[in-house]
Amino acid sequence: MTPIALPDAAPGRWSALTWLASAVFLSMSPWFSAAAVLPHFRALWMLTAGAAAWLTLAVQLGFVVGAVLSAAFNLADRITPQRLILIGALLAGAANLGLLVTGTPTLAMLLRALTGAALALVYPPALKAMSGWFRTGRGLALGVMVGALTLGSALPHLVNGLSVNSVGGANWQAVIVATSLLAVLGGVIASQVRSGPFAASAAPLQPAQAWRLLTGPNLSRVTLGYLGHMWELYALWAWYATFFSQLLASRDWPDPLRGAAFATFAVVGVGAIGCGVGGILGDRWGRPRLTVLSMTLSGGCALVLAALVWAGAGTPLLLAVSLVWGFWIIADSAQFSTLASELADPAYVGTALTAQLALGFSLTAASIALVPVLVGAWGWPAAFIMLAVGPLLGAVAMRPLLHPARSP
């Protein structure tokens, strides 16, 4: 008997997108909760810049460990994504809440690593769950999902900006409590969303699938492009508040920490709009073309910002360029995930997405760690130049996919 073909447009897909995006927005908010209140932890434990970096690096490395294990055991393809998101959100909220009672930086780093590992059960499964609702327009749908991640990452800076004072935030606990509760709420919301009609059935355990998927001819280029994109993304998100607070303090701004908190929320948050625009253009122009454009503009913004800082440009101009950078730095992110979901074996889409994310987040640890080293030696322009290298090389890696017939 001939199988019944499913329509390309699934009824209820926009409702599912709304709820899943809301779940990601809320669930991912603990990611930068410690970074948002970093001045408090630095003062409490007398941390150097390098030691403080480990509070952010711990989240990245925890995510990598969680993603590698998830990919190796094909969890996102063997367990319902909504259930994984709920488990991950509950664990992330609990680990994040533990920062309220931790007494040492070592324990805080461990809790941040556990938070990252738990969030590896939220983000990749959420992307897979959305792929089950969209065949056409998938680039826009996943763009909205990554936009929700972007806003969730910016949210702690907004909460901190509303409560911060000149010594790093007397109400820093509010940031921790709020982001923990929001993560739990996001997991509950995700658990109520049903699976889409294009979702693949549970796949058997095949640990080698992750490596096979990422080394396919076209998907390997997509992965290289994604690595270039990730090189700059989380380093900018992690260190922009520090950069801008130092800038404002050097210019005698009356409340540099509050100003930096709001500026960082804007620079990170504007990326949500970039994700939506990137999704629309990716569906219309083709995803390789959009990724090349986005990485070229993003790398260019990093170089321009380096030159402007070196030249002592005015604060409004520096913020304006930063906002453009924040827009384009994330506009291509969902398109890499969309390409992975389209090129991978349908039964192992979740594994492909998780493995790709694991590689990308592994690289972010290096760039995040390099920033304070370069700033200490040569200043912020050197750090921005270093970050520009990633997207520019990523654009080169993606260029052959602009002409599929010529691709290997």
pLDDT for 286 = 87
Q: What is the pLDDT of residues 270-283, one digit of tens each?
A: 999 999 999 899 88
Distance in angstroms (rounded) separating the CA atoms of residues 17 and 88: 19
Q: What is the pLDDT of residues 36-92, one digit of tens each?
A: 777 778 878 888 777 777 887 888 889 888 888 877 777 767 788 899 999 999 999
Structure tokens given for 200: 């693949």
Mean pLDDT of all residues belonging to the chain: 83
Distance in angstroms (rounded) separating the CA atoms of residues 130 and 334: 12
Structure tokens given for 302: 């990093």
More confident residue, 407 or 109: 109
pTM over 0.85: no
Convert 48-60 to b/e letters by CB count within 10 Å (16 or more is b): eeeebbbbbbbbb
- The Cβ of residue 312 has, within 10 Å, a number of other Cβ atoms equal to 8
Sequence spans of domains, the chain: 13-193+205-401
Structure tokens given for 345: 């074996």
By CB neighbour count within 10 A (0-12 exposed, 13-18 middle, 19+ buried), where does 303 fall? middle
Across-strand partners of 134?
9
Q: What are φ and ψ of residue 9, in 5° steps?
A: -105, 115
Across-strand partners of 9?
134
More confident residue, 371 or 131: 371
Among 63, 55, 60, 67, smallest CA distance to 107 is for 55
- The Cβ of residue 44 has, within 10 Å, a number of other Cβ atoms equal to 13
Report which residue type is found at 165.
N
CATH, domain 13-193+205-401, list 1.20.1250.20, 3.40.50.1240, 3.90.230.10, 3.40.50.740: 1.20.1250.20
pLDDT band for position 9 (cuts 50, 70, 90): low
Which range of 73-77, 163-167, 233-237, 302-306 scores highest in mean pLDDT? It is 302-306
Helix (H) / strand (E) containing 53: helix 49-72
Mean pLDDT for the stretch of residues 317-340: 92
